Each structure stands twice: as C-alpha cells, then as structure tokens.
Amino acid sequence: MDDCPKDICAVTDSSTEGVPASQPPLDPNGTTQRSSEELVARAIAPVKREFLRPPPSSRTTQNNPASDTNVKQPQANVVQEKKSKRQLKRERRQEQNSPLNLCPEIAKTGDVNACSYKDKCRFSHDIEAFMAQKPADLEGDCPFIKADAPCPYGLACRFAGTHKDNAPIATSNLLKKSSEVNGLSKDVQKLLWKNKMRFTKADAVVKSLGLAGPNWKVKKLVDKEEDEVGLDGSHAADETNCKKVVDDSVDCSECPSTFPAVVNAEEACETDELRPLKKAKLLVDEKCSDEGEDATVLENDNEKNSAETELADNVLAEPDRSPKICNLKDATVLEKYNEKKSAETELADDVHAEPDKSLKIHPREKMLIDFREKLYLAPLTTVGNLPFRRVCKTLGADVTCGEMAMCTNLLQGQASEWALLRRHSSEDLFGVQICGAYPDTVARTVELIEKECTVDFIDINMGCPIDIVVDKGAGSFLLTKPLRMKGIIQAASGTVDKPITVKVRTGYFGGKNRIDSLIADIGSWGATAVTIHGRSRQQRYSKLADWDYIYQCARKAPSTLQVLGNGDIFSYLDWNNRKTDSPELSTCMIARGALIKPWLFTEIKEQRHWDISSQERLNILKEYVRFGLEHWGSDKKGVETTRHFVLEWLSYACRYIPVGLLDVIPQRLNWRPPSYYGRDDLETLMASDSAADWIRISEMLLGKVPDGFTFAPKHKSNAYDRAENG
C-alpha cells in the first residue's frame, strides 16, 4: 500500500514472490489459511486481507532482542537490587534539594522573598539555577490561562512562555481545582490521622443492628471473666485473648480502655483495620495509673477494694468513646471542625424540630436515581480517572463513578485514596465506589463521604476479584458471606440518605452462581440498585459474560430494586440486544468497551458504527491531555503524571480495530487483533502493541520524554481486562 513504509512492505521471501505483501501466507494448495468464520470462531479479528501485515521474522527478533529502548525489558537472569527505605528516602531528599524543585510560592510570584519559611524551606529558592535547568516549554497554550486567570504554577509551568505579563498573581493552588470538588481538607485529615473523628450516626446504626464489631465481643469477654477483676482494678484477661478479639474485629477505635496495650500498628494493618489509638491510648493508660495511685492513699482495705471495684465496673460497663485531646493544637482543630458541623446540625434542627425517631425514612422512600436507559461508565482502576471520565462525558456518558477506594485508607486520611473521590463539575450524575470488609468500617466511610463530599450515590464493591482485596475479606470474597453482605448493606443504607448501590459477580466459584438466591434480599436490605457482572470471581475476565443468568436475576428482582447488567458491551448492537432480551434490566454498565473505544457512548446514542479516523482519535487524546494537565498540573511533575496515564490508556486503546478494516462488524471484545497496517501511518502507529510506539504517541502530545524514561503497563499483556473492578 502507498501508506505503508517501504522497508516494512518489502517482500524478501521467495515463496511469496508475486503476491502482495499485505496478503496472508498461502497453503501449498494456494488457498488462504482460514476464512473469516474460522477466525471469528478462534476469537481472532477478521481483518481484511489487504491490511494484514506479515508476522515479524524470528531471525530479526533474535538479532534485535531489545529494539524498544524506552521500554522495560524483562530480565529473567538479572536480579535487580532492591533499594532500602533509607536509600529511597535519601534519594527523595536529594531530589527535593535539586534546583529543579523550586519552591511553589516563589514559582507563583517570581519573588524570592515570597516564601514564609525562608531558610527552613525544603524547596530550592534559586530562580536562576531553576531557569537554567528547566526543560524547554511545550507547544500550545497553558491550560490555566482563561479570562486573565493566573496560572497556579507560575515559573514552573511548562507553558510559561504563553503566560500574560499583566496576569494577576496566583495565590492558591485551588485555582486549578475550581471546577473540582470532594477534596480532603487539612482539618479533617488531621482528625482522621489521630483517630479523633466522630461517627455518631454510623456507630448508632451498627449498634442497633447488633454489628458493633469489637465492642460487643470485648464486652462479652469482660462479662465472662468479671469475677477475675483484681483488687487494683486491673483485668485478668491476658493479651492473647484480647489480641484474638482485636484480630477478629473491624474497628479498634472504640475498644474499652481496659485493653490498651495489645493494639499496635502492625496488627491493625494485617487485619485491615483502622489506625491504632496511639496517643489517646496512652492517655487512657496514664489515667488508669493515676487513678490507681490515688486509690492507694485510702487507709481502709475494705474501702479501697470497694472503690476500685466500682471504678472497674464503670470502665467496663461504659467505655469512654469521646475523642481524646492530646494537646491544645488538636483541641483547636477538633473545636473548629465541630463548630462547622454543629452549625449544620442547628440548621437542620430548625427545619425539622424535634424529629420523631419512629418516623425514620424507610430505604424505599429515599431519594432514588433512575438508571433506566442511561449510559453508565463503570468505575475503572487506574484508567478511569477524572480526566478520562470528562472525555467520556463529552462523548455521551450519562452516569460516571469514581475509581474504587478502600474504606480503611479513606478512614486513615490517605490523600491518594481521597483523590479517587474527586468530581468535576461536568459530571452531573456522579457516584463513588468504596470497598470494605466489615459493616462498621463501611458505615463510618459512607457517613464520612456524606459529610465531606458531594455525590449522588454510593456504590459498594462486592465483586472485585483482585487477590489483595479478596485476601482482606472484601470484594468478591463477600459473595461467600451472605450474612456479612446483609450487615454491610443494612449498615450503609441506615447511616446515610444517599442511595446505596451494590456491584456483584454471579458467584465466587465458577459454575456455582448464587446471586439469584440473594437478589430479593439485597433489595430488602436497603440497596436501591445492583449491578451484576456476568462472570464469577474464579473466571476473572476469561470466557464471555453469562447474560442469560443476568436476565434470570433481573426477573427475580423485586420492583423496588433496579438491576444493571455488565459484561462485553462493545457496540450499539450489543446494547440493543441486551435491552431487548430483558426488558427488566434498567440499563447496562459499560466498562472495558469504553477503555478501548470511549466513543462507544456516541455510537449507542446515534445508533451507528463510527468508522473513526486516526486524526479524530488523536484529537480525543489531545482533549484528554488538556484535561489531565488541568487536573494533575502543568509543571514538570504534572506533565509526566499525565504522560503516564496517557500511556496506560494507550495500552488498552491499541486493541481497537477500525470498522473499515474488518470483514465482519462489529468488533467483539474478546477478539485478538492480528498484526495489521492502518489506512495511514498514524493509524498503523495506534494499532501497535509496542510500548515504544505508545511513547512516540505521547511525545506527539507532551513533548520528548525525560532522559532515562521507562514505562511498563500496570497490567499484564495477557490480562488486560484487570482494569475493571469486579
């Protein structure tokens, strides 16, 4: 073909002389090896003969084993030295001291005296050294220069040459986040770090359901061994028993102060629990010891014993659940936060004075979201970030959901986990997805999200097949624990007024589906919608989704529970067939199909196959880059973060085969594309499964990669479907 490089199209094999290079090899009989029907039966994409590309020569591969110089090559015989934590910390400090790590305050204003930390600042204040080493500016305009608005990165921006000289000075990094919400405030983060956040609603609901976790277990242990309370008021329960109770629990923040010494950080991490009591625990120890010392001044032994016994009973019967204030600074933060929340409570009390607890809102009377006929973008790990969701919104998605966030990490105040909850103003119908193993952990998380975030619904993941999630008792492991599923859904729906939805798989083991027996109960437990992925946990993403079973579950579901199907939607025909085959389905969730071709939403709404050109696909990538720079920043770090996620997305997008190149349409999700030429050089480049070619595309969008740059996809090439959460 004219568009193919001459060095690639050249035919060197004498057995194919006279045959166009784009045709597949011939049998000895002179016929093609396989027909389109045979290729489809073998899950191989039936690309037209004139576009097929001869497989690479094994001789060439042996001579050039590492042709992709910018890609990490597997080194089976080389043992890479693992860096220690101390060495990594030293490297981070050296990077901070680099002139390229300019102080943000100085970068914004261009004034070396702008930093309030002066010599104590950990960043560089040398503007001349920074400008001498700063990489060249990228082509294009700064994404933050809109209506004379300042760029929050100032001198550090990779588009600084396009800044206006008379633009006002940026005073806050929040300027670049003006269209985003659901950020984690510093006050809330500090309270979460020190385990001082109040969860009154969640704790009350969990207690009323009899799912109080360690509280009722410890109380039961105390009652059983109450006769072993010593004269000094200490309990005789040994650390082994208490440790067993803690290991079986969920939240150690409300354990009675009788057992302060056995909860430590390692145990909490191993059992996927919340942060340990830390300083609050030590204060309880000091309080108990002080009370013991005060009791020793009693001269009468009988009075002493009775006083201490009464004190021990009070401690065991009603543990102190109020936050422990360790210092004046913590008290100020807590007071400030409580004032804010008390003002909101007073406003609510003015509207609903003296509410009758017997008139509690029934789950069916909560605000519901009508998912019917809406195009729902599934929560997708890594690639389903905020910029990608914005792209899908521009292409027709109606409902978006954030990436799966772990409840434990949210309750610990991890900023990286809270970033998964961020919402853009264009996401008019938005939910967050959380994953937890126990009712009290999930209940506290949904209460925290309702307080601090603006969301339309909260989705609970009970289908994630990843080992690290399942091993902690969350995700699809819950499919083996229906009573725990019940407790989690009831606790979450009883804590917040936001709609609670659930995402599940057909079952845990292949051939042992069980959601059909639970579908009616899921609605009565308080869920307003359930999404069923038509595979078991054991299947992961192999084989096709079992839509017949999804239809069966939809027919059994009560009228108050919306059922959404998920699995293998890759064209508007797939969407139409699923909706026609089962009118009971509210809608279908689109996951991996959107990763490979996000314009699938446009195809469904316009009811057509879009033979999109390579330039149109490049424009979508450019839009994603612009959204990424607005989200992650336009400085060096933001540019490289955007590049990383562009490459992650390209590792999926390369599986798309243009409609005009196929003998049979539409493309199926399980088809493996052969090596083929595109209709132009750019389309050929986008079809490559080589990371070196993905890097070339990223350089077209974000400039040349830094020296020593390497990239390896987060997923494995033979398991590309891992992006979807359940």
Q: What is the pLDDT of residues 660-713, one digit of tens each?
A: 999 998 999 889 999 999 999 999 999 999 999 999 999 999 999 998 888 888
Q: Which amino acid does the sequence have at 165?
A: D
Tokens of 115: 């930093």
List of residues 6+ apart from 164 with CB closer than 8 A: 145, 148
pLDDT of residue 167: 53
**Model pLDDT, residue 28:** 38
Handedness of CA 333, 335, 336, 337 (dihedral sign): positive
**Cα 544–chain centre separation:** 25
**Which SS3 state, helix, strand or coil, does residue 47 take?**
strand
pLDDT, position 151? 86
* Closest CA relative to residue 707, chosen from 65, 68, 70, 66: 70
Question: For residues 445 and 206, what is the distance between their CA atoms, to the nearest angstrom?
Answer: 13
- Look up the pTM and report it: 0.74
Q: What is the pLDDT of residue 617?
A: 97
Q: Which residues pair with 430 in a beta bridge?
A: 400
Under CATH, which architecture does the 376-610 domain have? Alpha-Beta Barrel (3.20)
List own/partner pairs for 219-225 with CB under 8 A and 24 or more apart.
Answer: 219/256, 219/316, 221/245, 222/256, 222/258, 222/316
Burial class (CB in 10 A: 0-12, 13-18, 19+), 98: middle
- C-alpha 425/C-alpha 390 separation (Å) is 9
Low-confidence ranges of the chain (pLDDT < 50): 1-32, 59-69, 71-80, 168, 171-176, 214-326, 328, 345, 347-360, 717-724
List the end-to-end C-alpha distance of the chain, in Å, as a whole number: 43
The size of the chain, in residues, is 726
Domain residue ranges in the chain:
93-171, 376-610, 616-725
Query: What confidence score (pLDDT) does residue 707 get?
Result: 86
pLDDT of residue 34: 73
Q: What is the 3-state secondary structure (H, E, C) of 696-719?
A: HHHHHHHCCCCCCCCECCCCCHHH
Q: Which residues contact 343 (CB under 8 A, 6 or more apart)?
A: none
What integer pLDDT is reported at residue 112 of this predicted model?
84
**Angle at CA 664, nearest 5°, toward 660 and 665?**
65
Rounded to an integer, what distance in angstroms lies between the CA atom of residue 385 and that of residue 529? 23
Q: How far apart are CA 256 and CA 235, in angstroms?
A: 11
Q: Give the whole-angstrom CA distance, residue 192 versus residue 333.
A: 11
Residues involved in catalysis: 464
Cα–Cα distance measured from residue 396 to residue 370, given in angstroms and rounded to the nearest whole number = 17
